[in-house]
Every structure is written in C-alpha cells, then in structure tokens.
Structure 1
Amino acid sequence: MTRLSGVTPSGHAHLGNYLGAIRRWAREGGPGDLYFVSDLHGMTISYNPSRLRKLARESLAVLLAAGIDQERVFVQSDLVREVGALTWLLECTCSYGEAARMTQFKQKAEGQGMVRLGLLTYPVLMAADILLQNATEVPVGQDQTQHVELARSLARRFNSTYGEVFTVPRAVMAPTAARLMDLSDPTRKMSKSTQDNAGVVFVLDDPDLVRRKITRAVTDTEDRLEYRPSSQPGLANLLEILAACVGRSPAEVADDFSGYGELKTAVADAVIEELRPLRTRALELIDDQHTLDKIREAGAERARERGAHTLTAALRMAGVG
C-alpha cells in the first residue's frame, strides 16, 4: 500500500500544519507512505518565483526535521517533465465540464481579476501526482475528496480506453486533528497565506516571538476557564493547542488553570518545547545547502524511478511513446 500526501509551499509552515499533519506523518507514517512538496500547485495564483523557490526548500527541510524518512520525500517540480507529460495525457482524458465543476475552482476563482488556466486544470495535475507514484490511498480532508474522485475517474477512463496502466487510488479521510484558529482572531483558521501574521505561530519563529504571539492571543471577558468552543473560541483555541502538545484533552488541561495569564504561559512553554528540535534541525538543513540538495536530488531520483514504468506505458498506450 502506498499513501501519498503533499504540502503546498504557499507560505511558511505554521503550528496548525505541524500538529495537524506533519507531526502525524512522522509519527504514524507507514513504510510505503510518500510525502512531497507540491510547489507546482503554488503557481495557480499570483506568486513570487524566488519566494516560491525559497519556501519549497524550507518546506522540505521542515518535513525532514520533523522526522520523516528522507527516502519518503521529494519535491514535485524536480519531476516537472514527468508530471507535465502525464498531466497532458490526463488533460486529454478529462472533460472541461469535469474540471469546471470542481468546488475549489469555483471558490478560488470567485472575485479574482484574472483566473489562471492552471487553477482550472490543477485537479488534473493533482491526479498526475497521484497516478505517477502509483498511490493506492490519498489521505485528504473533505475539501479534497472531489479531486481524488477525479483522479479515480481519469484512471479508469484511460485504462478502459487505451489499456490497463494506472492504479486506481481511493481517498481516505485523514485522522481528525485540532483545527487551530488564528490567535488574534479565533473566528478564522490559522493560515499560511494570511496578510496579518500576528496570530499565526510559524514553526520556524524565534521562541521569543512565539511567546509574544501567544501572550497577546485574544481570549474573552468571561470569568470562566472552561473548554467551551462555541461561547469562548479564543480560550478553546489555546486549550486545544496545549492539549495537542501534551497529549491530553482540552477539557482536561482546562482544569489545571485558574487564570488566563497562567494558561498562556503554559501554552507558550509547551509550544516552544514542542517546536524546539524541529526548528533547530530545520534551520541546520536550510543553512547546509549541500546536504539538503543531496537529499532532494536522491528523493527526485527515487520518485522518477517509481513512476518511470507507469509514464512509459501510458505514453505508449496513448500513441505518443
């Protein structure tokens, strides 16, 4: 069984990314799991090329620093020729209607002055990522299941039209994790792309900055220190962060404190300690360009080898190889 998961370098990795996905990949990932930096996905909206390149390197370093086996990681753009060729085959298998009715395309295209064609065809690129690596399972949230269903449809259609080539993957729901909210506005999700970073704890933030952000976190004026997400979202967010760091439930950790100041100090201490080894190792890798490049090159070569037979067979079956 091969499970495939990716992280898009649309911004710096934050605490929610780490606690909700990256840490779980490192701790619970199976021997056949693959993890990749999906930097090509970051080109579907306006972006800065040098920043994208820097964030891709940083994201790779974070995955490795979290403890994910270097033999399981690669960067998507290092396979641009292979992925690009397979994307074209799948675009010629996909209908316009299938691409246009993707919910995420409708949501992201709304209000944009110029909608890039890549935003429309991005799900086909995602299908190419999955099918090239012969993934059998793709852990996703509810918002991505539609994309995996498209990959399944395209794999079946290609196989039935030209010959059996692709493994038909299936979506599996990723384990539920705490949905961390912005510390300065607990009504919105913590995000890599937010314009205001005051409420977002990035995994490579300096410890003093982490403490300042948590100390300034919005709570409320109620004199009740209980886990009540609907009526006290700011407090609930802090309790969820602490619970994720110490391995307890939010309701349990709430009983340990009598005041917000005391709680914020404990949250800051826990987050700093949780991120300390990750931050140290990631910064070492980023500074050691030679080592990171060697790991990246080896990951790319393994990914090419895994997909070589599939791509060659697909091109031949489609009449162009």
Structure 2
Amino acid sequence: MNSFKPLVFSGVQPTGNLHLGNYLGAIRNFVALQDHHDCIYCVVDMHSITAQLVQPDLPSQTRSITAAFLAAGIDPKKHIVFNQSRVMQHAELAWIFNCVARIGWMNRMTQFKDKAGKDRENASLGLLAYPSLMAADILLYRATHVPVGEDQKQHLELTRDIAAKFNNDFSTKIAELGVGVEMEVGQETVHGFFPITEPLIEGPATRVMSLREGTKKMSKSDASDLSRINLTDDADTIAKKIRKAKTDPAPLPSELDGLKDRPEADNLVGIYAALSGRSREDVISEFGGQQFSVFKPALVDLAVNKLAPIADEMRRLEADTAYIDSVLRDGGERAGAIAEANMKTVREIVGFLSN
C-alpha cells in the first residue's frame, strides 16, 4: 500500500518577543523532533497581518523568530527553515481551501471568537479565514504530523476536515490522475491526495503561566515585562524576574496535591520540572517543605543555565542579518520546490489550466 512519507510541519508567528512559554511549549519540541523526523519549520509572517495589518517591525520580528529557531538547536541544513511569504503557493492553496471550507466551520473557531471579541463585524476577513491558511501551510507539503498545543487542536481538526472534503469532492479526478494515496483513518482505509494530518504530542504538555499572576497564561502581550522570561533576557534579567515572581507565604507542599489552589507555586514547580526534564513529583520530593527562599535560587540557577546560552546565541545571530536572510532564502527555495510540485498536481485536480 502506498503511504505518505512522514513529515512534520509547524510554524510560529513573528509577533512580539518569544518567551519561556513559547520555548517550553513549542520550540524545544521542534528541536527534539528533528532527530527522528524530516521537519519544515516556518515563520508564518502572512498569519501575523490577520490581526494587525501595518507592522513596521515585521522584518526584524521575522529574523528574531528565525534566530530563536537556530539558537535553540534547529539545523537549517538538515531541515527546512523559511518564512511563509517567500512561498506564495501558501496563498494559492489557501484560496482553494477557502472554497472547500464552509463559513459555518470558520464561525465555530474559538480563536476567531476570542480575537474578534464583541466587534466581530469589524474583524478582518483574514482573521476569519486564518484556519484555512493554516490548513494550506500544512497540506501544501502534505505534512503527516503537526506538533500542537491545546489552543491549536481545533485548527488541526479543521485541517483534517478540509483535507477529507477535498479528497472526497475530487475523488474521481484523483483516481483518474493516479495521484492518490491510501491511508488509515481510524478503522477505515481512505484514498486521497492530501493526508489526514495527525497531531503530534511529545510528552506532557507544558503550560507556562505568568510570573505575576499564576492563573493567566504567560504572554508576550502582557503589559508587565516581569510577567514573562523572554528568550533574549540575559542571566541577570532572568534571575531578577524569578526572584520577583509572585508566590504565597507557605512553604512548598510535600505532596503534589498540595499545589492545588496555589497557582503561582504550581507554575514555578512546573517550570522547574520542564527545564530540568524531571517530573513535578520529583521536584516536590526534593523541595517539599522548603521555603521559596530556598527554591527560587535553585530555579534561578537552572533557568540561567538552560536559557542564557540561547539568549546569547540569539543576540549574536540577530546581529548577523545577512546570515539569517541566507537561511530563510535557502529554506524558501527548498520549500518552494516541494510546494510547486504539489500545487502543480492540485491545479490539475481542480481543473486549472496552467501549462
């Protein structure tokens, strides 16, 4: 039985400074995945203009995300690193998917509701169609797996729905051209040009909360810089932010259940566990019963040891814009070759004359 070659795709928007939550929740996993998979990692600059069209710092933000990829350990020679707008087949396939997807599907997207807020009529059409472009990003390369967090699961489900509808709507043409692949979906064997992409979840999800309010997710849009550890923070800044992180007066509990209703303590224990590669139970067994005056210095040492080298390398790379641009240019050429080969077939399937 023919099958798709395993391929991982993921992208990061160039909006604001990357922080510890981005690193633990996504980029660190990207680095681990490249050891066992072929990977395409994209700075999705076309997505970034859906909420804010005019962005004077978009070029520098794009380079900054690229620098973070490289500083964290992604190899741009073995894998592909590029910015989305270099490969215009993303937009071409997104338009076709706009015609595949249904308005009702888009209206149900939780992120659109959250980002559009109460003034949905004033939201950009791009924001509404954002998931269609995301589906195009993934399926343009016929990616079989996507690392996803909780906030992207619904979009991946939509990607699967779009792929399934395209495969079904054009099943006769796909068979006629002989370009389909058989694949196992649940208990069924189905046939189609696009894969039904699977989510890829590596280990327990890491959800990093604000250092100033443990019930809020760490965010680059938070007004207080003390709420997050940026990947560009130097050792002194990392230490300062952890020392100033909000806690409660009680010592750390001796059992994991004791972290319930203590969001700030729970967050710091989770960060320590994630950075050290240990379980939260292990961390509690070591530090349970001790005050934060003991735990925070240990967390400072760990965070500085893990993050400061990445920050140093990011700053070095960001200063070398010629190198960053060469990585993006090379990645764009390699991604574009794959994209055009797949789009040539899509055009045939749809019936567009392009020769």
TM range (shorter): over 0.9
The equivalent of 2:110 in structure 1 is 103
Q: CA deviation at 1:189?
A: 0.9
2:267 corresponds to which of 237, 249, 253: 237
Q: Secondary structure at the match of 2:11?
A: strand
Q: CA deviation at 1:221?
A: 2.1
The equivalent of 2:47 in structure 1 is 41
Unpaired runs of 5+ residues, structure 1, are none
Cα deviations by residue, 1:57-92 (Å, 9 ceiling, x for unpaired) = 10111011111120332211211x211111111112
What CA distance in whole angstroms lies between the structure 2 residues aligned with 1:63 and 1:167? 28
What CA distance in whole angstroms lies between the structure 2 residues aligned with 1:241 and 1:146? 26
Q: Which amino acid aligns with 1:172?
A: P
Query: Which has the larger displacement, 190-199 or 248-257?
Result: 248-257
Cα deviations by residue, 1:265-287 (Å, 9 ceiling, x for unpaired) = 11111111101221122211111
The equivalent of 2:17 in structure 1 is 12
Residue-pair matches, total: 320
The equivalent of 2:245 in structure 1 is 217
The equivalent of 2:90 in structure 1 is 83
Q: Secondary structure at the match of 2:282?
A: helix
1:260 corresponds to which of 292, 299, 309: 292
Is 1:116 the counterpart of 2:124? The answer is yes
Identity of aligned residues (%): 37
What CA distance in whole angstroms lies between the structure 2 residues aligned with 1:244 and 1:45? 31
Any conservation in 2 of the 1:39–1:77 contact (CA below 8 Å)?
yes
2:165 corresponds to which of 139, 157, 161: 157
Aligned runs of 1:1-321 on 2, under 5 Å? 1-29=6-34, 30-46=36-52, 48-70=54-76, 71-79=79-87, 81-112=88-119, 114-162=122-170, 163-164=173-174, 166-175=193-202, 176-226=204-254, 227=256, 228-257=258-287, 258-320=290-352, 321=354
Query: Which has the larger displacement, 1-10 or 117-126?
Result: 1-10
What CA distance in whole angstroms lies between the structure 2 residues aligned with 1:311 and 1:99? 24
Any conservation in 2 of the 1:214–1:264 contact (CA below 8 Å)?
yes
Q: Which amino acid aligns with 1:218?
A: K
Any conservation in 2 of the 1:203–1:275 contact (CA below 8 Å)?
yes
Q: CA deviation at 1:244?
A: 1.7
Unpaired runs of 5+ residues, structure 2, are 1-5, 180-192
Any conservation in 2 of the 1:61–1:285 contact (CA below 8 Å)?
yes
State TM-score, norm by structure 2: 0.84
Q: CA deviation at 1:178?
A: 2.6
What CA distance in whole angstroms lies between the structure 1 residues aligned with 2:197 and 2:351? 27
